[in-house]
Amino acid sequence: MLTLPDYSDIIKAQMRLKGVVKNTPLEPSKSFSAMSGAHIYLKLENFQSTGSFKVRGAYNKISSLDPGELANGVVCASAGNHAQGVAFAARALGLRATVFMPVFTPPLKVIATRSYGADVKLEGETFDDALSAAKKFQESSGAVFIHAFDDPLIIAGQGTIGLELFQALETIQDVVVPVGGGGLIAGIAIALKKTNPDIRIIGVEAEGAASMQTSLRDGKLTRLTSMSTIADGIAVKTPGELTFAAAKQFVDEIVTVSDAEIAHAAYLLLQRAKLLAEPAGVASMAAVLHKKLDFKNRQVVTVISGGNINMGLLEQILEKGMMAEGLRARIAVLIPDMPGELKSVITILENLFANINEISHERSITTVPVGHVLVTITFNLQQIEQLDMVCKALEGKMKKFEVLR
């Protein structure tokens, strides 16, 4: 029967990982401290080899196995980051790796995993579907299955982050950690509660995939019937037995954040801190910025767990973030379908120094009167007040328009 690692196992993992993974930066943030009222530090695992913390656990697990066990290679299931960690570790150790990923995994994660030499197989719509396929492959091939989170050696590898945190900042009061299957928070919690039991360990799940919070509430492992979140890296239908046990024993709070809050945090990290992070990786920051608990005046570490973001999703996050901050706007203007009418609208925008980003025309929908065209214009602004100026100018020209939110 598998048992949770202890502090000594995490120390051993740190020794195994020396020279293989990065001791990632712990950076104070004046901007996020001002926004939250806390003293914020960012643990930047998006700077880690493979762009995620997952390589820590994967390498610790695989390098601990007897070479005889590894004759048929390793196999895993992953939504992306664990896949890259396993592929990276397998290549470093001269092993064959087979990785099962959901069919909707962002292409860049698939490409990155293959770049480390793994044989990638796309199976099913969710992580759990890929997990089932991977276990069938393991039974038929004899490859060693490397679980994404429910394994003591995986947990110990992730726990090395906790050692690094305490070594860098002994005055930590809160550590806020994204939670999917629970391996990351389990390892960090075991490491930090041993060094200082008063450190508050807070887990953050996506509202649409809150399997750990649900399980803790029910007092038993509970499988979600469905999930919906942009944070695919923490979208897991049920936590592991070991990670659930660790959460019960060592984790102080589990909170949830919405997709809108996650997207907002990702946007602000990029805009204010110049840091690119994936939705799962910024769940911790979303919880702090949206004050899911009282963090005021406390020394708070947010673990930014990964940076492997889908570029299409990043585009949407930037678009919505700019519109929410009033730096981009979109208006629909109904004008006569005649020469010069569109130019009159564009002239208004140009005179107010609004930079046009996109224009579209619609004539065929039934709400557009015959002889008219509905023009949708997206434009960038230099300051929030410009949108009001644009609206007043359009009203002065008797234009029928709507600001689209």
In a domain, 40, yes or no: yes
What average pLDDT does range 147-169 have in this prediction?
Answer: 97
Q: Compare 175 and 323 and report the one with higher pLDDT.
A: 175
With beta carbons less than 8 A apart as the criterion, state whether 192 and 217 touch.
no
What average pLDDT does range 89-116 have in this prediction?
Answer: 91
Catalytic residue annotation = 54, 305
Q: Residue 251: which domain range?
A: 7-52+152-319
What average pLDDT does range 151-180 have in this prediction?
Answer: 97
- Could you give the residue ranges of the DSSP H alpha helices within 231-327? 241-250, 259-273, 283-289, 311-324
Residue 384: predicted pLDDT = 86
What average pLDDT does range 361-376 have in this prediction?
Answer: 88
Residues in CB range of 4: below 8 A, 6 or more apart: 152, 155, 186, 190, 242, 245, 246, 249
Asked whether the predicted pLDDT for residue 106 surpasses 80, the reply is no
CATH of the domain at 351: 3.30.70.260
Angstrom distance (rounded) from CA 122 to CA 106: 11
Residues in CB range of 133: below 8 A, 6 or more apart: 77, 100, 121, 123, 124
Residue 380: predicted pLDDT = 93
DSSP character at residue 306: B
Per-residue tokens: 279 = 């939705």
Measure the CA angle with vertex 271, ends 267 and 273; round to 5°. Answer: 110
Same domain, 158 and 242: yes
Same domain, 132 and 170: no
Residues in the chain: 405
Residues in CB range of 9: below 8 A, 6 or more apart: 152, 153, 156, 159
In a domain, 269, yes or no: yes
Same domain, 122 and 259: no
Q: How far is CA 149 from CA 54, 56, 153, 200, 272, in A?
A: 9, 11, 9, 22, 32
Same domain, 59 and 48: no
In this structure, the number of other CB atoms found within 10 A of the CB of residue 221 comes to: 17
Same domain, 27 and 61: no
> Cα 79 to the chain's mean position, in Å?
12
Asked whether the predicted pLDDT for residue 183 surpasses 90, the reply is yes
Q: What are the tens digits of pLDDT across the range 63-99?
A: 999 988 999 999 999 878 999 999 999 999 999 999 9
Give the number of domains in the chain.
Answer: 3
Of 304, 8, 2, 277, the closest CA to residue 160 belongs to 8
What average pLDDT does range 354-366 have in this prediction?
Answer: 89
Q: What are the tens digits of pLDDT across the range 263-302?
A: 999 999 999 999 999 999 999 999 999 999 999 999 999 9
In a domain, 39, yes or no: yes
With beta carbons less than 8 A apart as the criterion, state whether 206 and 229 touch.
yes
CATH of the domain at 275: 3.40.50.1100
With beta carbons less than 8 A apart as the criterion, state whether 78 and 86 touch.
yes
With beta carbons less than 8 A apart as the criterion, state whether 271 and 301 touch.
no
Same domain, 266 and 194: yes
Residue 272: predicted pLDDT = 93
Residue 86: predicted pLDDT = 97
Name the average pLDDT for the chain.
94
Same domain, 77 and 189: no
Same domain, 193 and 311: yes
What average pLDDT does range 30-37 have in this prediction?
Answer: 97
Residue 383: predicted pLDDT = 87
Q: Compare 365 and 298 and report the one with higher pLDDT.
A: 298
Of 78, 79, 123, 130, the closest CA to residue 103 belongs to 123
Dihedral of alpha carbons 54, 240, 223, 78, sign: positive
Q: What is the DSSP string of 186-253?
A: HHHHHHHHHH-TTSEEEEEEEGGG-HHHHHHHHTS----S----S-GGG--SS--HHHHHHHHHH--E
Tokens 């401290």: give the residue: 33
Per-residue tokens: 169 = 């900042």
* Residue 6: pLDDT band with limits 50, 70, 90: very high
Residue 398: predicted pLDDT = 79
Asked whether the predicted pLDDT for residue 39 surpasses 80, the reply is yes
With beta carbons less than 8 A apart as the criterion, state whether 177 and 202 touch.
yes
Angstrom distance (rounded) from CA 123 to CA 164: 36
Same domain, 345 and 231: no
Q: Look up residue 167 and give its amino acid.
A: Q
Same domain, 65 and 101: yes
In a domain, 2, yes or no: no
Per-residue tokens: 390 = 């644009």
